[in-house]
Amino acid sequence: MGLQNSKELFKHAIKNNYAIGAFNFVNLETLSAILDAATELNSPVIVQCSTGAIKYAGIEAISAMVKAKAKNLPVILNLDHGKTFEDCKMAIDNGFTNVMIDASSLPFEENINLTKQVVEYAHSKNVTVEAELGVLAGVEDEVSASNDDAKYTNPLQAKEFVERTNVDSLAIAIGTSHGTHKFSGEAKLRFDILSQIEELLPDFPLVLHGASSIPQNMVQLAEQYGAKLKGANGIPENMLNEATTKHNVVKVNVDSDLRIAFTAGVREILTNKPETVDLRDYLKQGKKYVTEVVKNKITNVFASENKA
């Protein structure tokens, strides 16, 4: 119980065919909303911040908030998309229990070297590490691949990468993408590539980024109160459920879904109660919708209910 690294939790998730949601937060409200949902459903949970969120809220405040609130549940505090050794070291030194080093835009050998360096430091502090291999579309696609296949994780490289770095989990590219507009055509995940990776790396914890579903009820609610999210779409929940319950995907990142839900709640109250200047009025409604979205993920997508 309480804050811990990913080792035992991922082992348990693989053995019992579920995944642990990794939810991004930027403030007390989003953190509490996530933890409320996980507590109510007795689910382990990963709370994570990017370096941008750390800049916004301050790493000491973030770490203290999580420590204070994560007592009765297995919780991993993860750094999302650390880009340098220094990013990861800062998180480790401030009590994060897992860090992601994202050197996926670097050449293979450089990705290995940087990941290895982070793994050595992290393991000496009992912190686990996630790395990434393959290029996700969306915010990462400035690194444009010349042909489509080069965007997906190469299974043979994945095996070599894990063996040489001693990393604890690996984010793979099988067709998910960052942001609120994920597909121009039909959503498609490469389950064939996922299966090949699993054959080469049996029982190894895999991670999906860019895996928001963009719940249309929240999009509609936000738009009803003035948001402009035309064409927002995500990964269908049944595909994510298959990846988590029938494969070794044990961590699924969710950020955009929570942003939309929080925005919908805040907009709703500001529109319906224009006289209010009590921040709690509208922040509470944002929190409420974030909790709803997280509960739906835990129950219907990741199957992590009652696994704490």
Question: Minimum distance from CB of 209 to Zn ion (Å)?
Answer: 3
Give the C-alpha separation, 303 to 205, whole Å.
Answer: 16
Asked whether position 307 contacts Zn ion by CB under 5 A, the answer is no
- Angle, helices 85-93/108-124, rounded to nearest 10 degrees: 20
**Least distance to Zn ion from the beta carbon of 226, Å?**
28
Closer CB to Zn ion, residue 43 or residue 48?
A: 48
Which H helix or E strand runs over 250? strand 249-254
**Which is nearer to Zn ion, 221 or 232 (by Cβ)?**
232
Cα–Cα distance list, 261 to 27, 180, 203, 255, 288 (Å): 15, 12, 34, 10, 9
Q: Mutual orientation of helices 28-40 and 59-69 as an angle, nearest 10°?
A: 20
Q: Which of the following is catalytic: 80, 102, 168, 257?
A: 80
Window 194 to 213, contacts with Zn ion (CB under 5 A) = 209
For Zn ion, the closer of residues 140 and 268 by Cβ is: 140
Please, which residues have CB within 8 angstroms of residue 131's CB and are 6 or more apart in sequence? 100, 101, 102, 103, 104, 111, 115, 118, 161, 165, 167, 169, 170, 171
Return the residues of window 205-264 that contact Zn ion according to CB under 5 A.
Answer: 209
Give me the 146-185 binding string for Zn ion, x by CB under 5 A, dash otherwise. ----------------------------------------
Closer CB to Zn ion, 1 or 139, in the complex: 139
Residue nearest Zn ion (C-beta atom):
209
* DSSP strands (E only) in 96-163: 98-101, 128-133
Min separation Cβ 178 and Zn ion, Å: 6
Q: How many residues bind Zn ion (CB under 5 A)?
A: 1
The β-bridge partners of 96 are none
In whole angstroms, the minimum distance from the beta carbon of 102 to Zn ion comes to: 7
Q: Which is nearer to Zn ion, 4 or 48 (CB)?
A: 48
For residue 41, give the nearest of 299, 301, 300, 250 by alpha carbon: 299
Q: Is 87 marked active-site? A: no
Torsion 273-276-281-283 (CA) sign: positive
Shortest distance, position 271 Cβ to Zn ion, whole Å: 32
| Interacting residues with Zn ion (CB under 5 A) | 209
Residues with catalytic roles: 80
